[in-house]
Amino acid sequence: MNKKFLVLLLIAALTAFLFVGCLPPGPGPDPDDPDDPVDGVVVEIDGAVEIGGKNYVSGGNHDITVTFPKPVVNARVFVSDCLGDYSKQPTSGTQIVLWPNEDNTVWSGKYKFACTPCGDPDSCNLTSECCASYVTVVAGECDEDTCIQVPVIVDCLPPFACIEVKGADCECEDCEFTFKSQVTSQDCKADAECCGDDCSGLAGWSIAIYNKNPFDKCCATTCYDPIWSDSGTDCPIDTKTSCLPLRNVTNNKILYYVIATLVDNVGNEVEYYATMTQTGETGCAVTVTRYCADKLNCACTTWETESTDTSCVVGATADGVIGTCLPAGNCCD
């Protein structure tokens, strides 16, 4: 199994462990009343992860399970518009149907979290791709109709990076390639790093190089193992390959295929695709061509549709760049 898949499996394993967690109880129960049926209510959102004391979920469908210490009736969940406005009324937003177990202590339903504004743009804040919703549980036994209320941050965008590529001669023969995320110097400001995730944070990255088309017969996963790969868990990205042989690139044939993958803490993922061809007849300088995902609903690339992104500018010392400086997917327009 190649190194790229190992790191992604590790990220997935950590995510699976962290995501099935219990959100902290909110207002409502009376701690001095031992018979209070809502004391100790637990809300579980499948896929939620706690980071820095805040709960995050990705955009999309998530199971919501509410467990009561004693049977209740008419349990409901309301999810507010995703605006980051924690002062919204607890029962506004979308009501979610919950189904009870046999003794009415566990109620479950499903909700599709999304980063959308409220219906009237004049009465609410502008939408954000890293917004917050209130998840409010209501049941007949709750004081003031509210059993528990917790904020959840919805992360709707993947991580991003502009990765510069530079070829150089190895000490004896062949070529080595450096992959480094861009850092731009700014007057009177901190350097701007084009790598990371603007919401839940970066969980990991990997870069894999192939000497033949990894999607010639496959798409959801690659058909072949890479000839080189590396991975990490934070920014900046800075890695160098082993010495790789130059193939015969007569008539500007593809030298190598490159796939760079980034994953954030709630599972949003982006893949960047590029090819490297030898710039001249000799030497290790390469021409980097970026491609967007244009096959099977953005599952992979045919290596035919070039990326139109202009947010990454090739640095003076680089041969080319991979990726984008915008938190967006890599689907073709």
Q: What is the DSSP string of 16-62?
A: HHHHS-EEPP-S---TT-TT-TTTT-EEEETT-EEETTEEEEESEEE
Do 180 and 201 belong together in one domain?
yes
Choosing from 95, 122, 155, the residue where a domain stops is 155
Task: Inform me whether the pLDDT recorded for 248 exceeds 70.
Answer: no
Contact indicator for 54, 31 with CB cutoff of 8 Å: no
Whether residue 83 contacts residue 127, with contact meaning beta carbons closer than 8 Å, is answered with yes
Query: With bands split at pLDDT 50, 70 and 90, how would you rate the model's confidence at 241?
Result: very high
* Least reliable range by pLDDT among 183-187, 287-291, 292-296: 183-187
| Averaged pLDDT for residues 246-254 | 66
* Residue 133 sits in the same domain as residue 188: no
Name the pLDDT band for 93 (thresholds 50, 70, 90): low
Q: Which of 115, 139, 155 is the last residue of a domain?
A: 155
- Pair 171, 150 in one domain: no
How far is it, in rounded angstroms, from Cα 295 to Cα 300?
5
Any domain includes 5: no
Residue 9 has pLDDT above 50, yes or no: no
1 found inside a domain: no
Indicate the number of domains in the chain: 2
Same-domain status, 65 and 143: yes
Lowest-confidence pick of 46-50, 201-205, 250-254, 289-293: 250-254
19, 165, 235, 266 from 196: Cα distances, Å: 21, 18, 6, 14
Burial of 52 (0-12, 13-18, 19+ CB in 10 A): exposed
In this predicted structure, what is the pLDDT of residue 289?
96
Whether residues 129 and 245 share a domain: the answer is no
279 pLDDT band, cuts 50/70/90, is confident
The answer to whether residue 196 is domain-embedded is yes
Q: Is the Cβ–Cβ distance between 146 and 135 less than 8 Å?
A: no
pLDDT score of 73: 86
Whether 59 is covered by a domain: the verdict is yes
Write out the residue range of the structural domain in which residue 151 sits: 21-155
How many Cβ atoms from other residues are within 10 Å of residue 17's Cβ? 10
Classify residue 280: in a domain, yes or no. Answer: yes
Is residue 32 included in any domain, yes or no?
yes
Whole-number pLDDT of residue 246: 74
253 and 208 in one domain? yes
Please report whether residue 6 resides in a domain.
no
Last residue of a domain, one of 136, 155, 174: 155
Residues 28 and 131 in one domain: yes
pLDDT bucket at 322, cuts 50 / 70 / 90: very high
140 and 44, same domain (yes or no): yes
Is residue 329 assigned to a domain? no
Q: What average pLDDT does this structure show over 92-115?
A: 87
DSSP secondary structure letter of residue 130? E
Q: Does residue 130 sit in the same domain as residue 58?
A: yes
Query: 223 with 233, same domain?
Result: yes
* pLDDT beyond 80 at 144: no
For residues 256 and 296, state if they share a domain: yes
Query: From CA 152, how far away is CA 188, in angstroms rounded?
Result: 36
Same-domain status, 124 and 164: no
Q: Which of 201, 154, 172 lies closest to 14 in space, CA to CA?
A: 201
Q: Quick check: 264 pLDDT over 80?
A: yes
The CATH number linked to 116 is 2.60.40.10
136, HSE (Cβ side, Cα atoms, 13 Å): 23
Please say if the pLDDT value at position 159 is more than 90.
Answer: yes
